[in-house]
Structures are given as C-alpha cells and as structure tokens.
Amino acid sequence: MRISLVGFGIVGHGVLEVVRRKRELLRSMGLDLRVVSVTDIKGTLFDGDGIDPSRLHGAKTLEGIANLGIIGKEAIQEIDSDLVVEVTPTNIVHGQPGLGHIEEALKLGKHVVTSNKGPLVVGFNHLRDLARENGLMLKYEATVGGTMPLISLIEKNLVGNEILSIRGIFNGTCNYILTRMMEEKYTYSYALTEAQELGIAEADPAYDVDGIDTAGKVVILANSIFGMGAKYEDVSVTGIEGDNPRGPQPRLGEGLPRKADRRGTGPDGEADARPPEEPPRRRRDPQRRLHRDRPLRDDHRHRPWRRLHRDRQRHCL
C-alpha cells in the first residue's frame, strides 16, 4: 500500500517512525506499507520505492529536502497513492487546510487516516458520506483518545450494545496539571510551568487548558457515536484555569476543580487568553456529560477516567 503523508510536524514524524519500526511485523501479516511521499508547506519529498525515514532524521521541515514543489491538494492529486494520512495542524473554526485535503483525497478514490480534529468538527457528516459514496475508508481514531482506542471499541467490540453516555478526561495536559495539583499539592501555575518544561504543555497552553481541544472531541463523539449533527458552538464549555490568574489553588479537605472532560467542557475565560481565530467562548456554569437523550445534561460527579455507559448487552443474542 502506497501512503502519502500530508503534514510533517510531531505527528508526521511519529507516523514515519512507526511505519519504520513495524514494517517487518506488518509484512508478516501480509501488509506492505510504503510511504512514497511526505508533504509540508515547503514542498514534497517523493520516492516511488518508499522513503527511507533516515533521510528525514532530525529535519523539522522539508526545506532543502523536498524534491517536488507541490503542496497540499496539488500533492494529493499528483502523487500516485492508495492512502492519504492527513496530520496537518488542527483548526476547529474552519477545518482548513485539513478539510480540503481529506475532501480531495476521497474524491480521488483514496482512503484517509487522520489525527486532525478540525475537519471532523466542521464537517463530519459531509466527510463520512463522501467516503461511503466512494466506497472508501475514513479512519479518525487518533482524533479522540488515541492512546486508548475508543471509537473502534464502540463500533466493533461493543457493536451489540446501545451506548447511553460517555464520560472521561481526554486532554493529557489538563490531566497532568490537575493530577500534580492533587497528588503534590502544587499550585496551578507551578504545575503548568512544570508541564511546559517537560514538553507536555505548549508555550501557549490555552488550546488545552481552556478546553478547546476537549470541546472539539466532544463534537466528534457526539456525531460519530450518537449521530447528533453537533457543532462546536453547541458544546457548553469551561476551562480549568478559572478567574484567578494563578489558577485554582488546592487546599486540604477541599475538592479540586473538575478536569476538562468529554462531558462537554471546554473554553472559558477572557477573550485575550484564547488563540487567534478560535470560536467565541460562552460562559456556562454546569459541567456536562455527553448523553444520548440529553447530551448536555448536568452531571456534577467527577471520575478521572473514560467511561462508557451502555445497556449491558441486553440486545445481544
């Protein structure tokens, strides 16, 4: 199978490394994967026999490495491949450039795997229908709980169950910060600084701590699992920082703020604290749980894990 990799950031580097490490195992299973092209904003590196990952070792971009001047949709059109792996940066406002990349690949008869939440938040139903119309696979497991397969668990292993609700903590940065606050009694600002020094949190952590990331994942689950046709603006959101510029301060005997989770939590705070072009934030008090019948109903209980509420297989034969 010939793969075109579109996006050469942290995730793109990881894809190349995994294909390299797993090549022999995959071949033993009858699957010969070859990454024939890698594309970023600087151009495209192409090798029809498969790119040797060592050629890209230590490279942050394809500048000086690319052998073709095509990027984006043009690269998807021109490169002969069976599968497009789309891992460009996420934008949940308009979904671009990933949305256009995925549309183009599906129109050209190419399967798609993506870790990009933006296109699915903006146009999940459109992309799903486009894939079905063309008899193609659109896989997006990495967009939600990538380290603990969730979507495939529901679609395959729990196919005989009726999923009633989903709860959990789905942002690693928030999980790390609040765990350190709880276990080590750190202040919010100290835990955040430590997370940044370790590379867990970004220099500008707003996308995570304001809940934008988690809110996008809520939309993907609402649409893929419950068929709700939800949009980002439908999600009630609250970040973990609070109104105190130092953030929430844990005290013995007092509960910690709930982590931004898949119950519908997300961005909250002042307008100048969010990244450019992100959706306007709406302050709503209650934390929420994604539920089939009442997807944004109040739920004030907190559990630091992912949980599926199902019907205990009562409909299974």
Q: Which residues are catalytic?
A: 217
Structure tokens at 291: 């539920």
Q: What is the DSSP string of 65-129?
A: T-SB---HHHHHHHS--SEEEE-PPP-TTT-TTHHHHHHHHHHTT-EEEE--HHHHHHHHHHHHH
Q: Which residue from 169, 215, 209, 171 is spatially nearest to 191, judged by alpha carbons?
A: 209
Terminal-residue alpha carbon distance, the chain: 37
CA distances from 88 to 85, 98, 152, 192 (A): 9, 6, 22, 26
DSSP helix/strand/coil, 142: helix
Is the backbone peptide bond immediately before 149 cis, with ω within 30 degrees of 0?
Answer: no
Distance CA 205, CA 195 (A): 10
Give ∠ CA 234-134-2 in degrees, rounded to 5: 105
Structure tokens at 121: 């938040």
- Answer yes or no: are the C-beta atoms of 9 and 85 closer than 8 Å: no
